[in-house]
């Protein structure tokens, strides 16, 4: 870290939690979790006078929530709201609801102040005055009036829900110092962008990152950007330009068509670029008004807020208990006449003992206990990929699994339903089974969101062992 003095004021921003209480845990580096968000916001508050805000789509993921998911989604919204109160945030600016259940939810009482669209809020922290305005639909002209009429302040922040295009318009409104963007469709977390006198910043989504914005409220009209990411970006741009110029110089020198002094001038330019690249270093002093913005990943090693972790456990148990009861009569789609159905991996064991003994000890053979350990086995967002034949004729449902025979990612997930194959009499053909599952079979579950490292050849090779496919 650079050796800058402590800031006069720190802003912490979390955007678009989307009712994601924690990451699923499937990927190589799961980021996020409301307990970690709370822990890190508390940690961030220790170093300087701080204001923390949450903005954007906080409680629900999207506009269309399938009917069976609605109870679960609502529980997640409640858990998120409790975690927001416990974190603690100084205020929230919530995007307009995208569904009826979200609308109803947002009408209920809340413990944390929610900003209305275009309403100014003045905070006094560490002897500084901070004006915060949430903007979704408020037009730039109206925002300009709000800012003109608002009391004197040291800095003005706009929390904006909307596309980058409208953020740029807001940044142009006189008096705006920072536009903090939420509600973006993309995951991209971008370095600060200067727009006129203001700066545009993002914070990420699904509670995977938070934005720390350290402010030095000294003399000066505009804020100088001392963020490491900005310096890094400048360095990369310059490095690329220098490489391009160097390549061109080589060509020009070889061609010999250019005047010696032109070439010398270009060489001097290249040298200047190199000097600038070498001189780019983390700033160590603050000369005037300045800021340092950083995105901090919410990683599993951070300190968790214990009471929020308890809220999350209670949430998982509530979802589990609810779904187990609500879907207790859920049965698979019937199997067409004459078609094979699922029988479970244990049936295969009688003839493929070695394959079964291997499979039981692989992640596929334990995939259901992964969920059970976390009280997620009836969670509709999880179960489908950790059982066999989910949603298929004769396959598992959220509660139905042939008395446990179809839990875990069984043989038939890859080789297809095996009733006909397993019960063929002596001398009968056993071919109603898929020998070599195609990549598409894997991708149903090993998609980018849940298996970031997936590579068909590499993963398939891990399945081929003595006794199974070897
Ligand atoms: C009663 C014994 C028996 C049972 C039970 C059984 N298999 Fe087989 N399986 C065989 C035999 C024998 C073969 C050798 C292929 C053949 O000669 O038809 C075979 C072959 C296979 C093959 C390779 C097919 C090919 O085209 O080479 C797969 C895959 C397979 N079994 C999967 C399963 C699965 C999955 C189950 C459980 C649903 C299962 N088997 C249950 C006896 C059985
Ligand atoms: C029904 C969903 C599903 C399908 C289809 C599926 N997998 Fe998996 N796979 C999983 C789950 C879930 C895990 C992790 C289980 C756990 O640890 O709880 C996993 C784990 C694995 C692992 C272990 C990864 C590791 O880090 O050791 C390999 C290898 C693998 N799968 C390969 C495949 C291949 C190859 C295919 C296709 C032929 C396939 N899987 C199809 C769900 C699936
Ligand atoms: C789209 C399918 C899919 C869904 C939905 C899904 N998983 Fe997974 N999960 C996988 C796959 C595939 C893997 C293995 C990834 C790998 O190793 O590449 C996995 C791995 C895991 C692991 C890591 C297991 C280990 O031992 O390393 C955990 C934990 C897990 N899942 C939990 C969950 C939870 C909790 C949910 C619901 C919030 C969920 N999964 C939803 C497909 C899924
Ligand atoms: C994740 C997918 C997956 C799962 C789960 C799986 N297999 Fe396989 N299996 C494969 C692949 C891939 C091959 C290699 C096919 C080839 O080489 O043609 C294979 C090959 C086989 C073969 C034919 C080769 C041989 O070893 O005789 C049999 C039999 C078989 N599997 C049985 C089983 C049984 C029984 C289970 C469950 C205990 C099981 N498989 C679970 C993917 C899977």
Average pLDDT score over the chain: 95
Ligand nearest to the CA of 434: 1
Cα separation, 35 vs 257, whole angstroms: 66
Q: Give the least confident one: 181-195, 382-396, 438-452.
A: 181-195
The number of the ligand 4 atom at minimal distance from the alpha carbon of 352 is 35
Cα separation, 164 vs 184, whole angstroms: 8
Residue 292, pLDDT above cutoff 90: yes
**Is 242 in contact with 327 (CB distance < 8 Å)?**
no
**Pocket of ligand 2 contains residue 409 by CB under 6 Å:** yes
What pLDDT, on a 0 to 100 scale, did the predictor assign at position 429? 77
Look up residue 99 and give its DSSP letter: S
Query: What lines the ligand 1 site, CB under 6 Å?
Result: 343, 347-348, 350-352, 411-412, 415, 418, 421-422, 430-431, 433, 435
Residue 204, pLDDT above cutoff 80: yes
Q: What is the pLDDT of residues 397-453, one digit of tens each?
A: 999 999 999 999 999 999 999 999 999 888 887 878 999 999 999 999 999 999 999
- Mean pLDDT, to the nearest integer, of 55-73? 95
**Pocket of ligand 2 contains residue 97 by CB under 6 Å:** no
Return the closest-CA partner of residue 417 out of 428, 406, 425, 426.
Answer: 406
What pLDDT, on a 0 to 100 scale, did the predictor assign at position 427? 80
Residue of minimum CA distance from atom 19 in ligand 4: 469
- Mean pLDDT, to the nearest integer, of 188-208? 91
The number of the ligand 3 atom at minimal distance from the alpha carbon of 366 is 26
Residue 431 C-alpha to ligand 1 middle, in angstroms?
A: 8
Residue 342 C-alpha to ligand 1 middle, in angstroms?
A: 14
Instruction: Say whether pTM exceeds 0.85.
Output: yes
DSSP lists the bridge partners of residue 43 as none
What pLDDT, on a 0 to 100 scale, did the predictor assign at position 256? 87
Residue 455, pLDDT above cutoff 60: yes
The number of the ligand 2 atom at minimal distance from the alpha carbon of 386 is 12
Residue 391 C-alpha to ligand 2 middle, in angstroms?
A: 18
Query: What lines the ligand 4 site, CB under 6 Å?
Result: 345, 348, 352, 355-356, 359, 364, 409, 411, 413-415, 435-437, 460, 463-464, 468-469
Q: What is the pLDDT of residues 101-160, one digit of tens each?
A: 999 999 999 999 999 999 999 999 999 999 999 999 999 999 999 999 999 999 999 999
Strand order in the sheet with 178-182: 120-125, 128-135, 155-161, 178-182, 198-202, 193-195
Burial of 290 (0-12, 13-18, 19+ CB in 10 A): buried
Residue 316, pLDDT above cutoff 60: yes
The number of the ligand 1 atom at minimal distance from the alpha carbon of 411 is 35
The number of the ligand 4 atom at minimal distance from the alpha carbon of 460 is 12
Residue of minimum CA distance from atom 24 in ligand 4: 469
Ligand nearest to the CA of 456: 2
What pLDDT, on a 0 to 100 scale, did the predictor assign at position 2? 57
Return the closest-CA partner of residue 114 out of 139, 132, 140.
Answer: 132
Ligand nearest to the CA of 438: 2
Q: Which of 352, 415, 443, 446 to mutate to test the pocket of ligand 4 (most atoms within 8 A of CB)?
A: 415
Strands (E), 87-171: 91-94, 120-125, 128-135, 155-161
The number of the ligand 4 atom at minimal distance from the alpha carbon of 360 is 38
Q: What is the pLDDT of residues 218-242, one digit of tens each?
A: 998 899 999 988 999 999 999 999 9
Residue of minimum CA distance from atom 8 in ligand 3: 26
H/E element, 290: strand 290-297
């Amino acid at each position: 870290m650079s050796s800058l003095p402590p800031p006069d004021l720190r802003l912490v921003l979390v955007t678009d939690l989307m009712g994601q209480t924690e990451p699923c845990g499937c990927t190589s580096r799961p980021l996020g979790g409301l307990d970690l968000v709370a822990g890190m916001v508390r940690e961030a508050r220790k170093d300087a006078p701080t204001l923390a805000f949450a903005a954007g789509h906080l409680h629900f993921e999207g506009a269309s929530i399938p009917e069976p998911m609605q109870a679960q989604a609502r529980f997640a919204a409640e858990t998120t709201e409790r975690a927001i109160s416990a974190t603690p945030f100084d205020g929230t600016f919530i995007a307009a609801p995208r569904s009826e259940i979200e609308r109803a939810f947002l009408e209920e009482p809340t413990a944390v102040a929610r900003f209305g669209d275009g309403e100014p809020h003045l905070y006094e922290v560490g002897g500084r005055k901070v004006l915060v305005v949430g903007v979704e639909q408020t037009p730039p002209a109206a925002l300009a009036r709000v800012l003109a009429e608002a009391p004197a302040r040291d800095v003005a922040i706009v929390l904006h829900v909307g596309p980058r295009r409208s953020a740029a318009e807001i940044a142009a409104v006189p008096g705006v110092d920072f536009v903090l963007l939420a509600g973006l469709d993309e995951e991209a977390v971008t370095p600060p962008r200067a727009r006129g006198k203001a700066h545009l910043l993002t914070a990420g989504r699904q509670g995977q990152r938070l934005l720390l914005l350290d402010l030095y409220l000294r003399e000066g009209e505009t804020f100088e950007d001392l963020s490491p990411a900005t310096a890094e970006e400048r360095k990369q741009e310059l490095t690329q330009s220098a490489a391009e110029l160097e390549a061109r110089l080589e060509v020009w020198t070889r061609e010999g068509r250019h005047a010696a002094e032109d070439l010398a001038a270009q060489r001097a330019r290249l040298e200047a670029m190199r000097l600038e690249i070498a001189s780019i270093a983390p700033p160590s002093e603050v000369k005037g008004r300045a800021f340092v913005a950083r995105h901090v990943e919410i990683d599993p090693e951070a300190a968790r807020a214990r009471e929020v972790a308890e809220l999350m456990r209670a949430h998982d148990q509530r979802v589990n208990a609810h779904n187990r009861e609500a879907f207790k009569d859920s049965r698979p789609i019937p199997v067409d006449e004459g078609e094979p159905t699922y029988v479970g991996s244990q049936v295969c064991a009688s003839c493929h003992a070695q394959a079964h003994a291997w499979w039981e000890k692989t992640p596929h053979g334990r995939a259901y206990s992964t969920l059970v350990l976390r009280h997620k086995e009836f969670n509709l967002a999880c179960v489908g990929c950790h059982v066999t034949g989910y949603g298929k004729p004769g396959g598992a449902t959220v509660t139905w699994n042939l008395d446990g025979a179809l839990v875990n990612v069984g043989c038939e997930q890859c080789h297809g339903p095996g009733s006909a194959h397993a019960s063929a009499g002596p001398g009968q053909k056993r071919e109603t089974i898929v020998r070599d599952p195609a990549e598409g079979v894997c991708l149903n579950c090993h998609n980018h969101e849940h298996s970031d490292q997936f590579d068909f050849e590499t993963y398939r090779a891990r399945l081929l062992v003595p006794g199974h496919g070897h």
